[in-house]
Chain A
Amino acid sequence: MNKFISLTLRIWRQKRPNEKGQFETYPAKDISTDISILEMLDVINEQLTLEGKDPIAFDHDCREGICGMCGAVVNGHPHGSEKGTTLCQLHMRHFSDGDTIVIEPWRSRAFPIIKDLAVDRSALDRIIQAGGYISVNTGGAPDANAIPIAQEAADKAMDAAACIGCGACVAACPNASAMLFSGAKISHLALLPQGKPEAAKRAIHMLMAMDALGFGNCSNERECEVQCPKEISIVNIARMNREFLKASFFSSEK
């Protein structure tokens, strides 16, 4: 059942952060439909290396859709057009022989391009640093059932915690906003008793950090939830809005 297809690739090449980039065309011959798009890029890179050319830089790590490291815009869709999958889970069987595939990096002021398809997503880390944590004393692991948590709250928190921080929501958003990411992170902790004590401080500080990093503003276009590889819902953005407004108007946090 081995099938091979040949494709034309149009890939964004950019040597360094502030340099002008451009699209380069690469033929991809006899690509197995069983491999992922990242494995196809590996094949192309092997050829480029043999030809003495600079291989295409792209981010990747686990290659099983859980680490959040990979990501590129494929034919206009972040992580490709398949629902609920990351770039490494996008297999070549979803393409037809003779197709042209355009691969571009995430585009956002807050995500400067490092090289080719690799972008600097540390802006998302800055948001986490501003409050995406809980403060607890270190020591032995606490008893798993010491704090009772309703199944519904646990499920909702888990749905939000499924965010792998890949940045596809920013890439998908027409405004390059990081509201789905921030909403998921704030929701995840706000829904659990462990997150409650710092909820107000967290909501305000994370939003202020997000605003300062150059992301756009949410205009409820809903592209993020559709393109999110973990299918995180904009319900989390509404919860973040609630958390922020509650914290701003009804808590003593500033």
Chain B
Amino acid sequence: MSWLIQTLWSSIGKKLMMAVTGLCFCIFLVGHLAGNLTIYAGKDAFDAYAEGLHALGPLLTLIELGLLIFAIIHITTGLTLFYQNLRARPTRNKVTKRGGGRTIASATMPYTGIILLMFVVMHLINFSFVDKSETTIAQIVSQKFENPIYVLIYVAAMIIVAFHVRHGFWSAFQTLGANHPKYMTTLMALSIILGLVVGFGFGMLPLYISLFS
């Protein structure tokens, strides 16, 4: 087994773990967004979707457990990489200019990641670990977004997740070794599109709920 630990804890191995878990989160985000779009169809549709999701029972628990384990891997590996990368350059240059490779998204990955972790904890407290015995999720959501501060926090968090996804998606393919002249341009474009879809898709929801429900 030592070879496995050696492989996974090497620099490429850590990136591999980031890439695999990250891509799974991308799939999760798309699924989560697809479900949330039922909000546009009205409260009943959204509640029906939530009910349907919970009807999955043990399968849902399994998915949630998987997401938790992946989150732990993604966060601990990410923080380790962040620490090691800071350590690799003890003295910074006085003048540093970008050559054109770095983007706002790529330069802020650890920071957007940490903010998203805090957001996810808050999001779970808001909508997951709440007493739903007397109300429906649609009611809880519309109550929450009556407060403009929550609308602001959620929209801001979705802009941040858009940036995180914009670098993370194509980056995961590069890490997995999938850099090919025929596909790379498409992957780069897809990365931006996915960022925009996630950002706008989720970001419009709190605004819609606070304005129209």
A residues sitting closer than 8 Å to B (CB atoms) are: 10, 12, 23, 73, 75-77, 81, 102, 104, 107-110, 172, 174-177, 179, 207-208, 210-211, 214-227, 234-235, 237-242, 244-245, 248-249, 254
Contact = CB atoms under 8 A, between A and B. Distances in A.
Contact of B88 (A73, A175, A227, A237): A175
Contact of A226 (B87, B89, B94, B101): B101
Contacts of B6: 208, 248, 254
B7 A249 contact: yes
Contact of A216 (B89, B109, B170, B176): B89
Contacts of B90: 109
A110 B88 contact: yes
Contact of A211 (B3, B11, B102, B176): B11
B171 A216 contact: no
B11 A207 contact: yes
A75 B91 CA distance: 16
Given A214-B88, A241-B15, A221 B81 contact: no
Given A75-B95, A226-B101, A216 B84 contact: yes
A241 B176 contact: yes
B12 A241 contact: yes
Contact size range, B: 35 or more
A245 B16 contact: yes
Most buried by B among A12, A174, A177: A174
19 contacts: A108-B88, A207-B12, A208-B10, A216-B87, A216-B89, A217-B14, A220-B171, A220-B174, A221-B106, A223-B98, A223-B101, A225-B101, A235-B181, A237-B174, A238-B177, A238-B178, A241-B176, A245-B176, A254-B6
A38 B192 CA distance: 42
Interface of B: 2-3, 6-7, 10-16, 81, 84-85, 87-102, 106-107, 109, 167, 170-171, 174-179, 181
A107 B101 contact: no
Given A102-B94, A219-B171, 19 more contacts: A12-B94, A23-B94, A75-B97, A81-B97, A81-B99, A107-B91, A108-B88, A176-B88, A176-B89, A179-B11, A211-B10, A215-B88, A216-B89, A222-B102, A224-B101, A226-B99, A226-B100, A234-B179, A241-B15
B97 A222 contact: no
Contacts of A211: 10-11
Contacts of A234: 174, 179
B189 to A, nearest CB: 16
Contact of A217 (B2, B15, B177): B15
Contacts of A221: 101-102, 106-107
